[in-house]
Every structure is written in structure tokens, then in C-alpha cells.
Amino acid sequence: MSIYTEEQARAILDKVIKLSKADQCSASLNGSSGGNIRYALNSVSTSGHVSDASLAVEVAFGKRVGTATINQFDDASLEAVVRRAEELARLAPENPEFVPAIDKQAYKASGTFHDKTAKVTPEYRAAVAAACIEPCRKDKLVAAGFFSDTHNFDAIANSKGNFGYQQSSWMDFTCTVRTDDGKGSGWVARNLGDVAKFDAKSDIQTAIQKAKGSVDAKALEPGKYTVIMEPAATAGLISFMMFGFDARRADEGRSFLSKKGGGNKLGEKLFDERVSIHADPWDADAAVLPWDNEGLARERTPIVTKGRIDYLHYSRYWAHKQGKKAIGQPGNLIMLGGDKSTMDLVKGTKKGILVTRTWYIRMVDPQTVLLTGLTRDGTFYIENGEIKYPIKNFRFNESPAIMLNNIEELGKPVRVGDDESPFVMMIPPMKIRDFTFTSLSDAV
């Protein structure tokens, strides 16, 4: 068993806290149960189920900290893990940046748990794979995809009386459809809390249409273009930009949010005034735990308001040093938009490029958050509000800090998952001018 009830989790954590002889003790207990199915070449390649639980105990003697973890929860094991943490703490060097355990927090539960998602069966996963493979087989297309579902619980406690418990569940689906001659490729992704909102049969049609529609792509000259970016196409760029929102990094002069001469750009207007991003653990479509990795309670936090930087993340140490209040680090990014769909944005575009997704995004220069990466799996030329023809993929070299100043229009946000991002995101489709493509790619 890897999913404990609140009572079971509390009983284990209470024992751990009582066992500790250190100056302070914090513990976290997590468990998860998840399944996945992977398919390629129109055939299931692997499928599996993993369940695991673990307990991490952190204790401190003065400024010396020790951490130990264990995956057995009988009394002897609990005693052993606490003693191990204490032993490590005694051996550890003093940490000059030590901060005491957090005070008792008030956590307001968020809607991270969806019963149907927690009850996904192997048969359901197989049906998702079949829903993608069958129409592709019939249409001389080749499907490769991955579906995973996770049900977990998180529980935390410390010797100052803090306690939190919550269950979560979510699903993630991606599928790439290619024409059998390799000349066309399309993609669809869906990241949801509630699997009841997922319809693989409908979603796969997006990938199929894009695969068929992207055959025989034409080459356009690299340069600056007006682009319609689907939500998945900008999620990676925005998520990358958030690494610059660390207050310490900015204060130290090594972020795009550092100020010339010292200090940071908190409060400055840096983006188009239609850009507003906030975090909200209770958002109905993108709920996350009401506490962060340190156990601090999360709040609804404006991050960017009408283009103005309203938030930098202060670690507890840095907040203390700078005389600021540390608040829970955001777990989601919710960017506001309008009501239009991606296709509505296309309709209002005289000339431009529709980008399905971006790929292999890497930092080129943290000074300006210049990122490089490529378009993939469905890039099209738009003329007079219509998709005219498929075009070859481009490499871009662009900074999200520049991109968010070149907004033409925003559509309706959708939930996006990203392999390389720690955030659950709600991102609108965006129409952006002067997006910089620097070279062509022959990749399909």
C-alpha cells in the first residue's frame, strides 16, 4: 500500500516527531501509485505500474542539519531513521544560512484530487492506446504516444506543531502521429487533473489532422515573423523565464531581473500590459498543493500584473536577510488571456505562422533569457486568416522577456504540462509579432 489516509500519515509523523531528541525535527511522508502505457509504431511497447512511499526526516542541532529517508514505517524503522538523521546532523558542518523550522501554518485545502483519475485501470490505459493506434492504422499513419496517471499523497509535520495532508491525482497524455512515409508529423497533448475531461478519441484527431496537413512542407526564409503560438509552444519559454524570478539571484546581479547598479526590478513594468500571470493553489483547472517544498503556505500571488513584476521568490534565508516576508513558492503559473481559441487568432491574422509546439529549449544567455529551440509537429503558414500550407520547422533564438513585449493578442488559456517544468500552467494561445527564427530545420 502506498496511499495512506490522513489518520495513518499523522500517526506515523507524530511518532517521528516524538522520537527526535534534536533541537527541531521536520518530516515529510509521501506515497504514490501510478501507471503508464507507451506505444510506438502502432503497437504497445511498454506498460507498467509503480507504487512507492517514503519518509524523509530532517533534524537540527543548532545550525547543524541532517536528513535521512526510509521506506519502511514500523516502529523500529521509524526510530532508526530519526537516529540516522540525528547522527548525520552531528557530523554535518554548521550551515551559516540555517533557518529554523517553519511555524504552524494554516493550509486551506485545494482541489488536487480527482477520484476518477485515481481509479484509472490498466484496461483504461490500453483503451487510450487503442484509441490512438486504431484510427492511425486505418489511415496509413503511425502513432507513438505515452499516457500516465498518478495518485499520490503528501503529508508534512514538524516539532512546532505544523501538519498538512492532501491527496492529488493527475494524468498526462502526449501522442505523435506521423505519415508512414515520414513526410508529415502531428502532435497532441493533454494534461488534466480530472481524467473524466479526457477524450483520447477526439484529441487524437488533432494529431492526425496535423500529420496529414504537414506533408510536403515548404521552406520559408528565416527571419522575424508574426506567430500564433499554441499554449504548448510558449509554456516552455515562460517556465524557463521563471528561473530569473529568484530574488537572491536578482539581488546578486545574475538575473535578467537584476538592476544596473544593484538591487532588482521588482515593481518595474517590463512586459506588455496585457501580460498578467499569477499563482493560485486553488485554481479550479490547475490546483496544486497549498504548501511549497519547505512547507510554507501558498497564497494567491500576483507574479506579473499588467506587465509589472509583482513577485520575486524569497527563500526563507534571503527573506530574513533582506527584511522581507517569505511566502510559499508558487506551484502553478496562471496567465490571463481572452476568450478566443487558437483558430480564432488564426482567423484574425493577415500573414503569420502557426506553431504547434516548441522543442529542445535551452538557455543561450541568462543575461537576457535568450533561449533557443525549434518548432515541431505542425508548423503552418497563415494568410488572410487561413492556414495556407505547411512549412518547414524553424530554429528560434528569442527571449520570453522580449516576446512578452510583442503581444498582439491573447486567446483562452488552457492547462499545459511540460516535462521540463516544475509548474502546472494555464497558458493562452498568443499572437506575437517579430518572433525571431534564425535557421531552417529539415526535421519532420
Partner 1 sequence: MDRRDFLKLTGAGLGALVIPAFYGRAIAAEALLTKIDVATKKRLADVALGAARSGGATYCDVRIGRYLRQFLVTREDKVQNVVNTESSGVGIRVIANGAWGFAASSDMSTDAVAKAARQAVAIAKANARLQAKPVQLAPVKGVGEVSWATPIVKNAMEVPIKDKVDLLLGVNAAAMQAGASFVNSTLFLVNEQKYFASTDGSYIDQDVHRIWAPMQVTAVDKTSGKFRTRDGLSSPRGLGFEYLDAKPADRVELPGGAVVYRDSYDMKADAIAAAKQAKEKLSAPSVKPGKYDLALDPSHTWLTIHESVGHPLELDRVLGYEANYAGTSFATLDKWKDKFKYGSDQVTIFADKTQPGTLGAVAYDDEGVKTQRWDLIKDGVLVNYQAIRDQAHILGLKESQGCCYADSWSSVQFQRMANVSLAPGKARLSPAEMIKGIENGIYIIGNGSFSIDQQRYNAQFGGQLFYEIKNGEVTRQIEDVAYQIRTPEFWNACVAVCDESDYRFGGSFFDGKGQPGQVSAVSHGSATARFNGINVINTARSLG
Q: From the CB of residue 424, how many other CB atoms can be counted at a distance below 10 Å?
A: 25
246 forms part of the interface with partner 1 (CB under 8 A): yes
What gap in Å lies between CA 86 and CA 61, rounded to an integer?
8
Shortest Cβ 109–partner 1 spacing (Å) = 21
What DSSP string runs through 57-113?
Answer: EEEEETTEEEEEEES--SHHHHHHHHHHHHHHHHHSPP-TT--PPPPP--PPP----
Q: What are phi and psi of 259, to 5 degrees?
A: -100, 140
Contact 218, 389 (CB under 8 A): yes
Shortest Cβ 89–partner 1 spacing (Å) = 11
What gap in Å lies between CA 17 and CA 155, rounded to an integer?
13
The interface with partner 1 within residues 354-373 (CB under 8 A) comprises: 359-368, 370, 372-373
The interface with partner 1 within residues 258-317 (CB under 8 A) comprises: 258-262, 270, 293-295, 313, 315-317
Q: Which is nearer to partner 1, 202 or 367 (CB)?
A: 367
Shortest Cβ 384–partner 1 spacing (Å) = 30
Helix residue ranges, H only, 64-143? 75-91, 115-118, 122-138
174 forms part of the interface with partner 1 (CB under 8 A): yes
Q: What is the contact mask toward partner 1 in residues 378 to 397, using x (rule: CB under 8 A)?
A: ---------------x-x-x
Q: Which is nearer to partner 1, 42 or 209 (CB)?
A: 42
Nearest to 49 by CA among 37, 66, 39: 37
What gap in Å lies between CA 82 and CA 405, rounded to an integer?
52
Q: Which is nearer to partner 1, 99 or 385 (CB)?
A: 99
Chain centre distance of CA 194: 16
Shortest Cβ 348–partner 1 spacing (Å) = 28
The interface with partner 1 within residues 128-147 (CB under 8 A) comprises: 142, 144-146
What gap in Å lies between CA 359 and CA 235, rounded to an integer?
11
- Tell me the one-letter amino acid at 121: T
155 forms part of the interface with partner 1 (CB under 8 A): no
Q: Which is nearer to partner 1, 169 or 436 (CB)?
A: 436
Shortest Cβ 266–partner 1 spacing (Å) = 15
Of 36-44, 109-117, 193-201, 280-288, which segment contacts partner 1 by CB under 8 A? Answer: 36-44
Shortest Cβ 212–partner 1 spacing (Å) = 16
The interface with partner 1 within residues 96-115 (CB under 8 A) comprises: 96-97
What gap in Å lies between CA 81 and CA 214, rounded to an integer?
56
Q: Which is nearer to partner 1, 344 or 396 (CB)?
A: 396
Contact 341, 429 (CB under 8 A): yes
Total residues at the site for partner 1 (CB under 8 A)?
97
Q: Which is nearer to partner 1, 172 or 341 (CB)?
A: 172
Three cell numbers written together for 417:
504540462
What gap in Å lies between CA 348 and CA 382, rounded to an integer?
10
Instruction: Output the CA torsion sign for 176, 179, 181, 185.
Output: negative
Q: Binding residue for partner 1 (CB under 8 A) from 402, 412, 433, 434?
A: 402
Of 169-177, 195-203, 302-310, 427-435, which segment contacts partner 1 by CB under 8 A? Answer: 169-177
322 forms part of the interface with partner 1 (CB under 8 A): no
Nearest to 146 by CA among 178, 188, 111, 192: 188
Q: Which is nearer to partner 1, 297 or 364 (CB)?
A: 364
The interface with partner 1 within residues 175-234 (CB under 8 A) comprises: 175-176, 178, 182
- Coil, strand or helix: which one is 247? helix
Q: Which helix (H) or strand (E) holds 229?
A: strand 223-229
Q: Which is nearer to partner 1, 309 or 346 (CB)?
A: 309
The interface with partner 1 within residues 423-442 (CB under 8 A) comprises: 438-442
